[in-house]
A and B are shown apart, each in its own frame.
Chain A
Amino acid sequence: MFKIVEKYALNTTTDYLSVYAPRIAAKALPGQFIIFRLHEKGERVPLTIAGYDREAGTVSVIFQKVGRSTMELGECRVGDEILDFVGPLGTPSHLDGYCRVAVIGGGLGCAIAYPQAKYLHEHGAKVDIIAGFRTRELIILEKEMAACADTLTVLTDDGSNGSRGLVTDGLKAKIEAGADYDLVIAIGPPVMMKFVCLLTREYGIKTVVSMNPIMIDGTGMCGGCRVTVGGETKFACVDGPDFDGHAVDFDELIRRNRMYQTQEQEARDQHCNLMKMADNAEN
Chain B
Amino acid sequence: MPNMQMNKVPMPEACPAERRRSFEEVARGYTAEDAILEAQRCLNCKNKPCVSGCPVQVRIPDFIAKVAEGKFEEAYTIIRGTNALPAVCGRVCPQENQCEGKCIRGIKGESVAIGRLERFCADYHMANMAEQNKTEPAADALRVAVIGSGPAGLSCAGELAARGYRVTVFEAFHIPGGVLVYGIPEFRLPKAIVQAEIDNLKAMGVEICQDMVVGRTVTVDELFDEGFAAVFIGTGAGLPGFLGIPGENSCGVYSANEYLTRVNLMKAYREDYSTPVLKAKRVAVVGGGNVAMDAARCAMRMGSDEVSIVYRRSEAEMPARKEEIHHAKEEGIIFRMLTNPVSIAADERGFVTAMTCDVMELGEPDASGRRRPMPTGEQITLPVDAVIVAVGTSPNPLIRMTTPGLDTDRRGCILAPDGVSTSREGVFAGGDAVTGAATVILAMGAGRDAAEKIDTYCKNKFGLN
Q: Do A and B bind each other?
A: yes
Q: Judging by beta carbons under 8 Å apart, are A23 and B172 in contact?
A: no
A170 contacts B by Cβ under 8 Å: no
A-contact bits for B250-282, CB 8 A (1 contact / 0 none): 111011011001100011000011111010000
Q: Judging by beta carbons under 8 Å apart, are A222 and B257 in contact?
A: yes
Which of A42, A87, A88, A217 has the most CB atoms of chain B within a 10 A radius of its CB? A217
Of all chain A residues, which has the CB nearest B393? A221
Q: How far is the CB of B393 from chain A (nearest CB, A)?
A: 8
Q: Judging by beta carbons under 8 Å apart, are B266 and A44 in contact?
A: yes
A41 touching B242 in the complex, CB below 8 Å, given contacts A86-B211, A224-B254, A259-B251:
no
Q: Judging by beta carbons under 8 Å apart, are B274 and A42 in contact?
A: yes
Stretch from B212-220, B305-313, B335-343 that touches the partner: B212-220
- Tell me, in angstroms, the Cα distance from A88 to B275 when the chains sit together: 23
- Tell me, in angstroms, the Cα distance from A196 to B405 when the chains sit together: 41
Q: Judging by beta carbons under 8 Å apart, are B266 and A221 in contact?
A: no
Q: Judging by beta carbons under 8 Å apart, are B349 and A255 in contact?
A: yes
Q: Judging by beta carbons under 8 Å apart, are B173 and A217 in contact?
A: yes
Q: Judging by beta carbons under 8 Å apart, are B275 and A43 in contact?
A: yes
Q: Judging by beta carbons under 8 Å apart, are A226 and B249 in contact?
A: yes
* Residues of chain A contacted by B49 (CB below 8 angstroms): none
- Tell me, in angstroms, the Cα distance from A63 to B258 when the chains sit together: 25
Within 8 A of B (CB), among A46-96: 68-69, 83-89
- Tell me, in angstroms, the Cα distance from A43 to B397 when the chains sit together: 25
Within 8 A of A (CB), among B387-435: 396-398
* Residues of chain A contacted by B213 (CB below 8 angstroms): 86-87, 89, 218-219
Partner of A255, one of B217, B244, B255, B350: B350
Interface size on B, residues (CB 8 A): 40
A220 contacts B by Cβ under 8 Å: yes
Q: Judging by beta carbons under 8 Å apart, are A216 and B258 in contact?
A: yes
- Tell me, in angstroms, the Cα distance from A235 to B278 when the chains sit together: 21
Q: How far is the CB of A227 from chain B (nearest CB, A)?
A: 8
A223 contacts B by Cβ under 8 Å: yes
Q: Judging by beta carbons under 8 Å apart, are A216 and B251 in contact?
A: no
B98 contacts A by Cβ under 8 Å: no
Partner of A256, one of B251, B255, B257, B398: B251
Of all chain A residues, which has the CB nearest B210? A84
* Residues of chain A contacted by B218 (CB below 8 angstroms): 23, 27
Partner of B398, one of A69, A220, A264: A220
A233 contacts B by Cβ under 8 Å: yes
B385 contacts A by Cβ under 8 Å: no
- Tell me, in angstroms, the Cα distance from A233 to B244 when the chains sit together: 8
Q: Judging by beta carbons under 8 Å apart, are A27 and B217 in contact?
A: yes
* Residues of chain A contacted by B350 (CB below 8 angstroms): 252, 255-256, 258
* Residues of chain A contacted by B258 (CB below 8 angstroms): 216, 222-224
- Tell me, in angstroms, the Cα distance from A180 to B276 when the chains sit together: 45
A263 contacts B by Cβ under 8 Å: yes
Q: Judging by beta carbons under 8 Å apart, are B266 and A43 in contact?
A: yes
* Residues of chain B contacted by A258 (CB below 8 angstroms): 251, 349-350
Q: Judging by beta carbons under 8 Å apart, are B276 and A264 in contact?
A: yes
Q: How far is the CB of A131 from chain B (nearest CB, A)?
A: 30
A147 contacts B by Cβ under 8 Å: no
Within 8 A of B (CB), among A187-242: 216-224, 226-228, 233, 238
Q: A88-B217, A222-B258, A233-B249 given. 19 additional CB < 8 A pairs?
A: A23-B218, A27-B217, A41-B273, A43-B266, A44-B174, A44-B266, A68-B274, A85-B211, A86-B211, A86-B213, A89-B213, A219-B396, A221-B182, A222-B255, A222-B261, A233-B244, A255-B251, A256-B350, A260-B276
Interface residues of B (CB under 8 A from A): 172-174, 182, 210-213, 216-218, 238-240, 242, 244, 248-252, 254-255, 257-258, 261-262, 266-267, 272-276, 278, 349-350, 396-398
Smallest CB-CB A-B distances: 5 pairs: A255-B350, A222-B258, A221-B238, A223-B255, A263-B276
